[in-house]
Amino acid sequence: MAKQAVGLLETRGLACLVVGVDAMLKSANVELLGPMKQVGNALCNAVVGGDVAAVKAAIDTGAATAAAAGEVVSAHVIARPDDAIDGVLPKEPARAPRK
């Protein structure tokens, strides 16, 4: 999937973030870019990627669903992000080879 947009959802508490991410992934053709992260002071965030319309729809749905379950601190969409932004996005951890 080409990364044409990046969406960020930040909540206070992990439970409402999980609910919001679940809604985002079910509502639009987006993928979770790396693991959900705890930032500190109960702040948690998740990043999704996909085409601009799908990311916008996913963030809108995820933020509304997470707000019903807890507190949404921030929800933002970056259309056509610069390649340099890859350095700050979360990455999947390397998996050990199976024995």
β-strands 71-79, 43-50: how paired?
unpaired
Q: Is 94 inside a domain boundary?
A: no
Q: Is 91 inside a domain boundary?
A: no
User: 72-83: per-residue pLDDT in tens?
Assistant: 999 999 999 988
Task: Please give the residue range of the domain that contains residue 72.
Answer: 5-85
User: Which has the higher per-residue pLDDT, 2 or 20?
Assistant: 20
Per cent of the chain over pLDDT 90 is: 69
- What does pTM read for this prediction? 0.84
User: 15-43: per-residue pLDDT in tens?
Assistant: 999 999 999 999 999 999 988 878 878 89
Q: Is 92 inside a domain boundary?
A: no
Q: Is 61 inside a domain boundary?
A: yes
Over its C-alpha atoms, the chain yields an Rg (Å, rounded) of: 13
β-strands 37-40, 71-79: how paired?
unpaired
β-strands 31-32, 43-50: how paired?
antiparallel
Q: Is 97 inside a domain boundary?
A: no
50 in the Ramachandran plot: left (φ > 0), alpha (ψ -120 to 50) or beta?
Answer: left
What is the domain count for the chain? 1
Report long-range pairs for 93-98 (Cβ below 8 Å, ≥24 apart): 93/35
